[in-house]
Structure 1
Amino acid sequence: MAAIRKQSMVQAGRPRANTTEEIARRHLLQPWPVAGSIGAEARGLIGEGDGIYVVDGEGRRLIDGPAGMWCTNVGHRNQELAGVMYEQAMALSYNTPWYTMNEPSAALAARIAAHAPGDLDHVFFTTGGSSAVETALRFMQFYNNVRGRPDKKMVVSRGGAYHGSTYLSASLNGRPRDRDWMDGADGLVVKLSCPDPFRRPAGMSVEAFRDLLVQEFRDTVERIGPDRIGAFVGEPVMASGGVIVPPEGYLPAIRDICRENDILFIADEVVTAFGRLGHVFASKDVFGIEPDMITFAKGVTSGYFPLGGVVISGALVEEMRRSNHADAMFAHGLTYSSHPVGCAVALKNLDLLENGILEHAGAIAPYFQQRLKTLEELPLVGEVRGLGLMACVECVADRESRNPLALDNEVGKRIDAHCHELGLLVRPLIHMCVMSPPLIITRDQIDDMVAILHEGISRTMDDLRAEGLWQG
């Protein structure tokens, strides 16, 4: 049966490819296009998925190295999630959250609150990560307005950060090229340095680098004034910025400064939550911090339905209820907030995570990191770093200077192209390759992934040498 299914997947992909490409070039606007190809672009076709694998338009079976976009945590073609989606849609497909509610959203809010650290016990559901971060920022603004502090609205973010594509959330982004041609609420945002130990000043210890970063935040608060800063927003691990794991002790120190200055600490766990680091939430269990708010999305439904949200401290909510402005309205909501189908899928997804997948992810993560670390034997690889089941392979022109490959800053795409031919999807980020496979991946599948990645990088090195772009 498996052989028949695989063959049907191959046959199903081939005849659709050209037609789909033609339609896409005529009608489909892709995310993050460049002006020269906007509205006339066809990207790689994915036809079907099963477990940790997907099948492309040419019938190739590929390991889904990035798990979609960090999100297909329990893998593709999970019948339990698909079944719940159908059952809930047949029972109740939608209700307006403005003046009605549904049972799955209330049940999910309670489940999520039980996993959240500290007193984070209230959940506002959104449609994804960008709207989750946007919601957290709007709540911060509302909170300070109600408290009579209309000037306390500045947001502190960091270089290398990625927090979304909506207006406020995108304003926090600090990755190269994200904001070159896009507007943002720049007057509301101040950015700190990227906490990347690999890029720390030459000769400086990691501990000294951490202390430098912490002092930078203290100095920023003093310069701008704590009466003007409403929130610090940070990913526990910078995901799309290149899987940047901050120095030990950095996040608790930032949290302490926030407490001292009545600045809300918003942990953006859109990527790190729901198993990516072996826990439902990583803030407390991995990094020892209790934020005021946590944003989440992606793995909450394993990508089977668009859903996100914000978990908010009970103390903040209680303070709103005690205020002198009982009629002040948090005028924010989405048509698909608390969607019954999405919440039902998330409840079943939590069942799967709690019944073995979280434990498996935590147990296999050290092997995943260890095997990927062997890629540092390749001269093009400057560093392999990561935590849990997320990692980044950063390519450099020269290990001594750690200079990125400015001479070919699309080297990640070259590696991805070779790996695609060999049976692996890679997430290319300029001169980096990000890996974050489904949490159900096995040791043998990790071995396959690393072997393909090794060969893909080796072929890329041969290409660069042949083109005279690199002599490593």
Structure 2
Amino acid sequence: MNLAGKDKKHIIHPWSNLGSDAESMIIESGKGVHVFDSEGNKFLDSISGMWCVNLGYGNEEMAQAIADQCVKLAYYTPFGAMTSPPSIQLATELSALTPGDLNCFQFTNSGSTAVESAIRFVHYYFNCLGQPEKKHIIYRENAYHGSTYLAASLNGKRCDRSYFDYVTDIVHATSDPNPFKRPQGMSIEDFCDLRVNELRDKILEIGPDKVACFIAEPIMGSGGVIVPPPGYHKKTLDVCREYDVLYISDEVVTAFGRLGHYFASEEVFGIVPDIITVAKGISSGYQPLGAAIFSQKLVDRISGDSASENSYYTNGFTYSGHPVTCAAALKYLEIMKRDKLTDHVLEVGPYFMERLETLMELPAVGDVRGRCLMACVECVVSDNEDENIAFAQRVDEFCQEKGLIVRPYENLCILSPPLIIEKKHADQIVDILGDSIASTMDEMGYS
């Protein structure tokens, strides 16, 4: 049995169709912005693995830092009053980069566990303050926040709701803030106010004494790279402050350079939230690592002399603050600073978006949106949603045949290339994607 057959027999893949007979594509190696499959085919990876391989593949400095830490100390428990130097150093360095007073870290294994820990902290926090009814969480349609039980219950993407069970009694959705979907004739400013007022109305409907937090991605990633209207995040934060609702900024995708900054909440959108969640780019995908980052003000209200009796914080993971993963993150931060990676993104990112916007000339392209190295091309060929989805899936197949990997979701082509791409790579991505859309139009009769 070949590798693909063994994979099919033994491995259950995330977000795979268990009824499909299709075999997996086996990615065997990578170098720079390219990956190679088991057949020797070369692909430009325009999705960074899964939004995360910011430095590209085969970075020897990253590999050496990981190996050195494995030899020095591969693991020790983070529970109770135990720790290791890399986690302390990482938290210290990150606290100099985070907005406001967000300098208290709980390290996790992933973005899902970071979001799960953030929500659990919020519930713990209000319980400690004697407000046990503040449990309810507001999220948005088309959001993605993870795949652990509570985090998955906050996902607003239709396709993520399947035969699993979800929390239903304390979670509430509001509409996504996608300007492309605004009512015909409505200005972007009025659309922004519509969505902000919807959040206010939802809080009042549930009861401010019962709403614990609002969670929002600065730019909604896998739900379609949805960039909210200008001022949206500031206005939603103001609403949360008015009703004592904590604001969680889910920066699992947007942090660590994808938008040209270490964190996007303040630098890009002008807000200082109460909590930030991160993962993916924090280690450039070289090791699994996430974190929930809390405001010092919140932590001070429930710790030290303010702590409740026997207030043990019974949340965490065997691999929280794992020394090897933290060493990888420290090396990535070192490389980011030394190589001025954020400056590079701010130079190549706008060029990438400008090139992508030329695809609007194709009749099958309904919208191009994004910021820097986080982008989406939405295919619209019909009023029938299934036809749009079928079209985009064929575009993805053509791209792969031409040596480009994009991330398909419904009728969208989602792009998040490694942060090290050059303008020539941006040109290649746009040229292949454009050719693939044109080929699909010809094949499916939409020319």
TM-score (norm 1): 0.92
Is residue 62 from structure 1 mapped to residue 43 from structure 2 by the alignment?
A: yes
Q: Does 1:388 align with 2:388?
A: no
Is 1:36 matched up with 2:19? yes
* C-alpha contact (below 8 Å) 1:428/1:434 kept by paired residues: yes
How far, CA to CA, are the matches of 2:319 and 2:310 in structure 1? 25
Residue equivalent to 2:3: 20
> Any residues of structure 2 matched to 1:396-435 within 5 Å, and which?
396-398=380-382, 403=383, 405-435=385-415
CA offsets 1:155-178 (integer angstroms, 9 cap, x no match): 000001000000000000001221
Distance in 2, matches of 1:327 and 1:358, equals 44
Deviations 1:324-383 (A, max 9, x none): 614212210100000000000000001111121111011111101000111111111101
User: Which residue of structure 2 aligns with residue 361 of structure 1?
Assistant: 345
- Structure 1 residues 138 and 74: CA distance shift in structure 2, 3 A: same
Q: Distance in 2 between matches of 1:449 and 1:91?
A: 41
- Quick one: percent identity of the two aligned structures? 47
Which residue of the other structure, out of 412, 423, 428, is the alignment partner of 1:448?
428
Cα distance, 1:397 vs. partner? 2.0
* 1:138 shift after superposition: 0.2
What does the per-residue CA deviation read over 1:442-472, in whole Å, with 9 as the maximum and x for residues that have no partner?
Answer: 011111111111111111112211xxxxx45
Alignment partners' CA distance in 1, 2:258 and 2:309:
40
Rounded Cα–Cα distance in structure 1 between residues aligned with 2:280 and 2:154: 19
Shift of 1:45: 1.0
Partner of 1:85: 66
Query: In the alignment, residue 186 of structure 1 is paired with which amino acid?
Result: T
Whole-Å Cα distance in 1 between the matches of residues 208 and 319 of structure 2? 35
Asked whether the equivalents of residues 253 and 278 of structure 2 are also in contact (C-alpha less than 8 Å), the reply is yes
Q: Which residue of 2 aligns with 1:14?
A: none
In structure 1, what is the equivalent of residue 268 of structure 2?
286
RMSD: 1.2
Aligned counterparts, 1:306-385, within 5 A: 306-321=288-303, 322-323=305-306, 325-355=308-338, 356-385=340-369
Q: Which moved more, 1:410-419 or 1:376-385?
A: 410-419
How many angstroms does 1:408 deviate by? Answer: 4.8
TM-score by length of 2: 0.97
Gaps of 5+ in 1: 1-17, 466-470
Distance 2:357 2:392 in 1: 17
Whether 1:457 and 2:441 are equivalent positions in the alignment is: no
In the superposition, relative to structure 1, how do residues 404 and 68 fare at CA in structure 2: closer, same or farther (>3 Å)?
farther
* 8 Å CA contact 1:126, 1:336 repeated in 2: yes
Alignment pair present for 1:136 and 2:118: yes
Deviation at 1:414, TM superposition (A): 1.3
The secondary structure found in structure 1 opposite 2:268 is: helix
> Equivalences for 1:236-247 in 2 at 5 Å?
236-247=218-229
3-state SS of 2:166 partner: coil
Question: What residue number does 1:3 align with?
Answer: none
Per-residue Cα deviation, 1:366-419 (whole angstroms, up to 9, x for no partner): 101000111111111101100121100000124xxxx46422523332111111
Residues 379 and 388 in structure 2, CA contact (< 8 A), matched pair in contact too: no
Write the letter of the residue equivalent to 1:358.
Answer: T
What is the 5 A alignment of 1:62-141?
A: 62-99=43-80, 100-141=82-123
Cα distance, 1:54 vs. partner? 0.5
Amino acid at match of 2:413: C
- Contact 2:365–2:377 (8 Å) recurs in 1: yes
1:100-130 CA-partner distances (Å, limit 9, x unpaired):
2100000000111111101101111000100
How many Å apart are 1:41 and its aligned residue?
5.4
Shift in Å at residue 181 of structure 1? 2.3
1:300 matched to 2:282: yes
Q: Deviations over 1:49-108 (max 9, x none)?
A: 000000122211111010100000011000000000000000000001114210000000
Q: Contact 1:74–1:357 at 8 Å: present in 2 too?
A: no
Report if the CA contact (8 A) 1:93-1:341 is conserved: yes
8 A contact 1:295–1:308 mirrored in 2? yes
Q: Contact 1:147/1:323 (CA < 8 Å) preserved in 2?
A: no
Q: List per-residue Cα deviations over 1:7-49 (Å, max 9, x = no partner).
A: xxxxxxxxxxx72101111111111123414xx6531111110
Q: Distance in 1 between matches of 2:151 and 2:307?
A: 30
Q: 1:263 & 1:188 partners in 2: Cα distance? A: 14
In structure 2, relative to structure 1, the CA distance for the partners of 1:133 and 1:337 (3 Å cut) is same
| 8 Å Cα contact 2:301-2:307 kept in structure 1 | no
By how many angstroms is 1:183 displaced? 1.4
Q: Which runs of 4+ in 1 moved over 4 A?
A: none
Q: 1:53 aligns with which of 26, 29, 34?
A: 34
Q: Is the 8 A contact 1:129 1:297 kept in 2?
A: yes
Amino acid across the alignment from 1:66: I
CA distance in 2, matches of 1:269, 1:404: 33
Deviation of 1:218 (Å): 1.0
Counterpart residue identity of residue 164, structure 2: M
Separation in 1, partners of 2:197, 2:441: 40
Asked if 1 retains the 8 angstrom alpha-carbon contact of 2:107 and 2:292, the reply is: yes
CA distance in 1, matches of 2:91, 2:266: 19
Q: Does 1:151 align with 2:136?
A: no
What's the CA shift string for 1:202-239, capped at 9, x where partnerless? Answer: 11011100010111111111111110000000000000
